[in-house]
Amino acid sequence: MIDLHSHSIFSDGELIPSELARRAEARGLSVIGITDHGDLSNLDFIIPRIVAVAKQLNPVLSIRIIPGIEITHVPPGLIKDTVTKARDLGASIVIVHGETIAEPVAPGTNAAAIAAGADILAHPGLISEEDVMAARDGGVLLEITARKGHSLTNGHVARLAQQCGAKLVINTDSHGPGDLIDAGIAERIVRGAGLDRSVFVDMQRNAALLIEKKR
């Protein structure tokens, strides 16, 4: 299984990157994205450290670490510049923290993230049909999430993505060891959002293609 959204002690996660990677490996994951919360104040602290640990660990683990960032609670007008800076610092995967109903995310964040060309829009909440179509046209993956609270709108996201032809990915948004899941649980979450197993397979393919594009 591929999971492109997780957090270490470099933001609000519980584990150092090495332990996060090892626990994910033990769960049977083949790829994990370490994507700590960031804004313009800390990108230059987080990203180089995750890049460095990925270079150290990838040759000796069976799991592959993808260094990234989750741009979080950045005002919509600054998202484009933040995405650009994250890529310049070496982030292979750029996620934007979408308009989840569980947090007071600024309106317009979803649209700004899609316009900025983020790779994944995480937990986009009650995303509009217009934004889903923009994500489809821009090749931005919409996230179905295992994270409590954020997952309350999975069904809405899944329905609109299927209706509009946008591509989906499933991630855990793990903050601690208990958040990591295996492929079997991930598939059940996808089915719980009203989708079938073939869509779960497509989600994993979408994640794999994104990784391949970043090589």
Question: What CA–CA distance (Å, rounded) separates 116 from 81?
Answer: 8
Tell me how crowded residue 133 is: count the other CB atoms within 10 A of its CB. 16
Question: What CA–CA distance (Å, rounded) separates 122 from 212?
Answer: 20
Report pLDDT for 45: 97
Domain residues for 16?
2-214
Report pLDDT for 106: 98
Question: What CA–CA distance (Å, rounded) separates 145 from 81?
Answer: 26
* C-beta of residue 6 within 8 angstroms of C-beta of residue 13: yes
CATH of residue 156: 3.20.20.140
pTM of the full structure: 0.98
Write the CA distances from 54 to 50, 121, 132, integer angstroms. Answer: 6, 23, 32
Say whether 134 sits in a helix, a strand or coil.
helix
Q: Sign of dihedral through CA atoms 190, 193, 199, 205? A: negative
> E strand or H helix at 192, and its extent?
helix 183-192
Question: What CA–CA distance (Å, rounded) separates 141 from 159?
Answer: 14
Cβ-Cβ contacts under 8 Å for 148 (sequence gap 6 or more): none
Closest CA to 157 of 145, 139, 173: 145
> How would DSSP label each residue in 90-123?
T-SEEEEE---TTTTPPTTHHHHHHHTT-SEEE-
Tally of domains within the chain:
1
Instruction: Compute mean pLDDT per 10 residues along the chain, 215 residues long, and list them.
Output: 98 98 98 98 98 98 98 98 98 98 98 98 98 98 98 98 98 98 97 96 98 87
Report pLDDT for 88: 98
Q: What amino acid occupies position 160?
A: L
Report pLDDT for 215: 75
